[in-house]
């Protein structure tokens, strides 16, 4: 869309990102098009005939009409999003087969991979073909799928989907992780349930797949994290008008900001690719689409939340154990959840207290029985909180720490 810039602008963006050690991943929406795209062209905006204008259009066979032109398959019945038939050879060539296919074209422009929109509505064969083309053109190219459930047990029309088998996706958007963490922080489940949920997912996914999942807490399709933690009502129980103007009570918002720091601690010390939805780090609020997609609050960022994000992200960047180390979980009681990451002689602990009470926590290696990496963890003689610079000494392999209400620590 020229409104967002030219192709030359995109190439310049990718070049500048690569010079900074960053990668650019595009959002591939290959299940449907817009009704006013040049391929469907329902309103006749483009001069060449689209599928809605002529059955002789080169794009006609991409779509399923019954009858043409007024009735057709559409994504979840939304007529402005006509669904394509991914089995059509001409469509597959357009996406990943031809010399100037969508995949090849944007890889040449500098893209480094794709996030697949509604991956569960794309055939396994289509994803497998796309993956082969991507890997042939970009060895390190990454393919992340939008899958909301456990990707290893996801069922489709032909049985279990093959996302995790090594021939399709590198990873998925980890909505299961997000749901488990939010349920814990909002009091719907306790720390032991969080341990079990995260451990089950790690046991179900191959390690390379799990390490390539987007570890996320908000997205463009969900209620924003801060709004959820501030006690937003179920979206199905209130009108769109209420959603559009919802503002949490100040006391609940203040507590939610503290809980958000705990969410960040769990997210940024967990295996996978931390994925921060723009604006969460600035304290943005909002119900789900379109209210979660408001513009960034330039000049009105929440400095407290932003500072915490920066401190935790910096601690992660400086710690090999957090980024690459083995991972184990522990629940000290219903309110205290601990993540331990360790690599060689380096150990890091993320400890969160979701309750409104002071918690005195004694942590030792024997507490960590959840997960596949329970052997080899050693408690250091002393650790420092990356958020407060406070130093703690261990006694006989046990670290004693006091956590205030809705408080956490990141010990290294």
Q: Can you list the alpha helix ranges (DSSP code H) found in 211-272?
A: 225-229, 240-244, 250-268
Backbone angles phi and psi of 94, in degrees to 5: -60, -40
pLDDT confidence of residue 234 = 86
Determine the Cα–Cα distance for residues 79 and 159; give it in Å rounded to an integer: 28
pLDDT confidence of residue 316 = 96
pLDDT confidence of residue 116 = 97
Query: What's the pLDDT band for 371 if we cut at 50, 70, 90?
Result: confident
Question: Among 29-33, 90-94, 188-192, 373-377, which stretch is predicted with the lowest mean pLDDT?
Answer: 373-377
Q: Name the token pair of 252.
A: 């609940």
Determine the Cα–Cα distance for residues 352 and 331; give it in Å rounded to an integer: 10
DSSP 209-225: HHTTSEEES--TTS--H
3-state SS class at 360 = strand
β-pair partners for 156: 159
Determine the Cα–Cα distance for residues 194 and 183; give it in Å rounded to an integer: 8
* pLDDT tops 90 at residue 99: no
Q: What distances in angstroms separate CA 229 from CA 185, 311, 350, one per listed residue? A: 7, 21, 20
β-pair partners for 172: 145
pLDDT confidence of residue 236 = 85
pLDDT confidence of residue 179 = 97
Determine the Cα–Cα distance for residues 327 and 51; give it in Å rounded to an integer: 52
* pLDDT tops 90 at residue 378: no
pLDDT confidence of residue 314 = 96
Determine the Cα–Cα distance for residues 83 and 69; give it in Å rounded to an integer: 14
Q: What distances in angstroms separate CA 340 from CA 108, 133, 355, 362, 398, one per listed residue? A: 41, 38, 20, 14, 14
Nearest to 198 by CA among 219, 187, 183: 183
Q: Residue 283 carries which DSSP code?
A: T
* pLDDT tops 90 at residue 369: no
Nearest to 88 by CA among 46, 141, 30, 48: 30
* pLDDT tops 90 at residue 84: yes
Per-residue pLDDT reduced to its tens digit, 185-224: 999 999 999 999 999 999 999 999 999 999 999 999 999 9
pLDDT confidence of residue 112 = 96
Query: What's the pLDDT band for 156 if we cut at 50, 70, 90?
Result: confident
Per-residue pLDDT reduced to its tens digit, 292-319: 999 999 999 999 999 999 999 999 999 9
Residues 42-51: contacts with CB within 8 Å, 24+ apart?
51/82
287 conformational bin, left if phi > 0, alpha if psi -120 to 50, beta if neither? beta
The HSE-up count of residue 267 (CA atoms within 13 Å, CB side) is 31
3-state SS class at 61 = helix
């Amino acid at each position: 869309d020229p409104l967002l810039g030219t192709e030359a602008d995109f190439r310049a963006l990718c070049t500048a990102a690569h010079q900074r050690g960053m990668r650019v991943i595009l959002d591939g929406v290959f299940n449907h098009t817009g009704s006013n795209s040049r391929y469907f062209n329902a309103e006749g905006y483009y001069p060449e005939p689209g599928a809605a204008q002529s059955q002789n259009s080169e794009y006609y066979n991409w779509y399923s009409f019954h009858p043409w032109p007024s009735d057709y398959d559409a994504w979840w019945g939304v007529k402005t999003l006509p669904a394509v038939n991914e089995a059509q050879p001409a469509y597959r060539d357009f996406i990943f087969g031809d010399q100037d296919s969508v995949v090849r074209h944007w890889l040449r422009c500098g893209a480094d991979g794709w996030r697949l929109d509604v991956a569960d509505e794309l055939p396994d064969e289509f994803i497998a073909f796309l993956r082969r083309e991507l890997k042939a053109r970009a060895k390190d190219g990454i393919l992340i799928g939008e899958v909301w459930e456990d990707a290893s047990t996801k069922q489709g029309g032909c049985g279990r989907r093959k996302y995790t088998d090594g021939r399709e996706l590198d990873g998925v958007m980890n909505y299961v992780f997000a749901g488990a963490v939010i349920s814990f922080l909002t009091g719907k489940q306790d720390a032991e349930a969080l341990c079990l949920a995260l451990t089950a997912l790690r046991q179900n996914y191959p390690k390379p797949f799990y390490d390539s999942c987007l570890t996320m807490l908000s997205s463009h399709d969900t209620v924003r994290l801060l709004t959820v933690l501030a006690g937003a009502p179920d979206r199905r129980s209130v009108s769109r008008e209420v959603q559009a103007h919802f503002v949490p009570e100040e006391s609940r918002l203040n507590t939610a900001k503290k809980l958000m720091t705990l969410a960040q601690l769990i997210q940024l010390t967990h295996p996978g690719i931390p994925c921060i939805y723009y604006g969460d780090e600035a304290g943005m609020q909002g119900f789900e689409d379109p209210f979660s997609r408001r513009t960034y609050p330039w000049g009105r960022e929440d400095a407290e939340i932003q500072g915490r994000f920066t401190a935790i992200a910096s601690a992660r960047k400086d710690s090999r154990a957090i980024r690459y180390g083995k991972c184990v979980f522990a629940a000290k009681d219903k309110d205290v959840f601990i993540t331990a990451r360790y690599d060689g002689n380096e150990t890091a602990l993320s400890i969160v207290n979701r309750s409104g009470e002071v918690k005195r926590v004694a942590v030792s290696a024997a507490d960590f029985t959840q997960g596949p990496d329970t052997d080899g963890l050693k408690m250091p003689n002393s650790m420092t909180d990356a958020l407060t610079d406070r130093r703690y000494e261990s006694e006989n392999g046990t670290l004693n720490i006091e956590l205030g209400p809705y408080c956490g620590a990141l010990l290294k």
